[in-house]
Amino acid sequence: MEQTHFDLVIIGGGPAGYGAALYGASAGLDIALVEKDKVGGTCLHRGCIPAKELLETAAIVRTVAHAGDFGVKVQPLGLEWSTTLERKQSVIDKLAGGVTGLLKNRKVTILDGTATLGPDRTVSVVGGPDGSESATLTADAVVLAPGSVPRVIPGFEPGGPVVTSDEFFHIPGVPERAVVIGGGAIGCEFASTLADLGASVTILEALPKILPGCDDDVTRVVLQTFKKKGIDVRTGVAVTGHSPGAGGGTSVSFGEGETLETDLVVVSVGRAPYTEGLLAEGTGVKITDRGFIDVDQLYRTGEPSVWAIGDVIATPQLAHVGFAEAICVVTDILGETPVPVDNSRVPWAIYCQPEVAFAGLSETAAKEAGYDVVTSKHRFGGNSRAVILGQPDGLVKVIAEKRPDGSAGQILGVHMVGPWVTEQLSGGYLAVNWEATVDEVAAFIQPHPSLTELFGESVLALTGRSLHG
């Protein structure tokens, strides 16, 4: 490689890193991106995308299973797992090709190797297709975006029947029985997928509730629907170990001496920042006690002109937050006016069935923050489109600040659970982040019949008058 100096060198090619590369290149920066595995990172290769692809397989299974309700007769239902995995891989490959193509079109130099940051924004790269190449780059600015890895629990290291999200997408078939440790976003998505595909699933969650951060009304709907699917949700239980038996299965010990025989154990207890080998001696980049790279509000590290973004810093571990942080940092590099992400108002989308989506404060969080609130809750059972779809379970809940006269003022949170809510959040997200009031948002029209009408109805009802709600 002839060129060794760039405006910007980015370490890590996941959403945060490739987002910085695409946005920076579109603004005219000359950029090198170093990736030791595959461009696209966790999200594309072993996270969001394959998880949603398998959830879509689960949705097809549900649709076919209920086809008879619509008078559509289908053959007996069967799952050809090899085709399922092939389709998942083809989706990943297509999207990976798309990202790489975009980077190349914008003249981003992609280096295949492992990068280490040294003093004075020097980045040494070791790798290449056969591991024998090395290069030393310098840059005016460096962005660290090395991502995260699944956390493991001692005694539940991956191997045999125990998997993390890294291995889950390659399991040889749908197990008869599965234990999912951790009831966060990943755990709920995997539990939902496995149950819809026919497995008998138990979630073991250490905290008193699953999906921490969600509004209680939302969690209640998830629990009811999970129960209908046959998912056994056990909360407030700690796992203590497991003993593999003959035949590939294992016996998981948890709680007060309870055990559960299972064919698959999915460990989904969070993700840890990944900084192994990232930093040489002599940089001002600091790592916190929890292993995250320490940054200020604008994602600047302790080393001049070195930023860190994505899962490696202590902000919500979401691909779209990585994109937003990337935009903020590039804006800072360009000497413009960077606007950091307001982490308390980012959009959350969890794709289990029922889907969950929210932005802003839950009712409990709003009260804890000292707000006097009014809420409005409307169920999909009364929404025409949801009834047509045959998916009436779920609700939309809007949390607004209560004015001194008792009327509803600023919208503080929008929380949804039910059919396609991950595609319906944008109106609520805008309302929360625009700091809009109930009266302002109630004036907007939603198409009829549509699922988004329920958000419109929920806001309208907070004005004290309503149509259907």
Catalytic positions, please?
A: 448
Alpha helices in 334-419, H assignment, sequence order = 363-368, 384-389
Between 138 and 235, CB nearer to ligand NAI: 235
**Least spacing, CB of residue 398 vs ligand NAI, in Å:** 21
CB-wise, 6 or 299, nearer to ligand NAI?
A: 299
Q: At what angle do helices 15-26 and 319-333 cross, to 10 degrees?
A: 40
Cβ-based nearer residue to ligand NAI, 6 or 348: 348
Residues 6+ apart with CB under 8 A from 249: 161, 177, 261, 262, 263
- 425-433 and 453-461 helices, crossing angle to 10°: 40
DSSP state of 248: G
Give the chain's end-to-end CA distance (angstroms, integer): 65
Shorter beta-carbon distance to ligand NAI: residue 91 or 206: 206
- Write down the least CB distance from residue 188 to ligand NAI, Å: 7
**Edge-to-edge strand ranges of the sheet holding 258-262:** 239-244, 250-254, 258-262
CB of 47 to ligand NAI, least distance (A): 6
Strands (E), 315-462: 348-350, 355-360, 373-379, 395-402, 408-418
Dist. CA 409–CA 152, nearest whole Å? 44
Q: How far is the CB of 459 from ligand NAI (least distance, A)?
A: 24
Dist CA 292 CA 284 (whole Å) = 14
Which lies closer to ligand NAI via its Cβ, residue 345 or residue 402?
345
Task: Report the residue number, 350 or 460, with the smaller CB distance to ligand NAI.
Answer: 350
Which of 40, 146, 42, 43 is closest to 97 using CA atoms?
40
Shortest spacing between CB 179 and ligand NAI, in angstroms: 10
What's the rounded Cα separation, in Å, for the pair 330 and 448?
41
Give me the residue whose beta carbon is nearest to ligand NAI: 184
CB proximity list for 23: less than 8 A, separation 6 or greater: 326, 327, 330
Taken in order 347, 236, 42, 201, the sign of the CA dihedral is negative
Q: Are 40 and 99 in contact (CB under 8 A)?
A: yes
Rank residues 207 and 467 by Cβ distance to ligand NAI and give the closer one.
207
The nearest distance, CB 334 to ligand NAI, in angstroms, is: 29
CB proximity list for 434: less than 8 A, separation 6 or greater: none
Please identify, using beta-carbon distances, which residue of 54 and 137 lies nearer to ligand NAI: 54
Binding site for ligand NAI (CB under 6 A): 153, 181-187, 189, 204-207, 212, 238-239, 268-271, 317-318, 348-351
Residue 131 CB, nearest distance to ligand NAI (Å)?
30
Distance CA 150, CA 424 (A): 29
Q: Closest separation between CB of residue 249 and ligand NAI, Å?
A: 20
Tokens standing for 12?
């890590």
Strand 239-244 relative to strand 258-262, pairing = unpaired
